[in-house]
Amino acid sequence: MNDAAAGAVFHALSDPTRRQVVQALAQRGSLTASAIAADLPVSRQAVTKHLTALREAGLARATPSGREVHYDLTPAPMADAVAWITQTGAAWDDRLGRLQRSLER
């Protein structure tokens, strides 16, 4: 598990608009910033800034196509975040199990 990568994913996904952008890319595939902005209550410029944050976290890829740039979701970095959640959850499960056994004695 890469803690820095997981942190970058959590930071990128902490913003509700970025989560909406991720959802749009997951559901509709390759999109331009204008196409994403058409479905959100923010400007194309704002969407572009959110896409930059997602790209920096490794969650999106930009592909120039003529005068447009198409963005695709690259969900692989989410695996580091899922691994962190799984590891942390397992540690808490272990602690709670020990507490329960201690209380049952």
Residue 104's SS3 state is helix
Full residue range of the structural domain in which residue 11 is found: 3-104
What type of residue sits at position 8? A
Residues 49 and 60: beta-carbon distance below 8 Å: no
The domain spanning residue 70 has which CATH number?
1.10.10.10
CA distance 38 to 16: 16
Sequence letter at residue 4: A
Residue 14 tokens read as 């902490």
> How do residues 62-104 score in pLDDT, each as one tens digit?
999 999 999 999 988 988 888 888 888 766 767 777 777 877 8
Number of domains in the chain: 1
For residue range 22-74, list pLDDT tens digits in order. 999 999 999 999 999 999 999 999 999 999 999 999 999 999 999 999 999 99
In what helix (H) or strand (E) does residue 62 lie, and over which residues does it extend?
Answer: strand 60-65
Q: What amino acid is encoded at 76 in this protein?
A: A
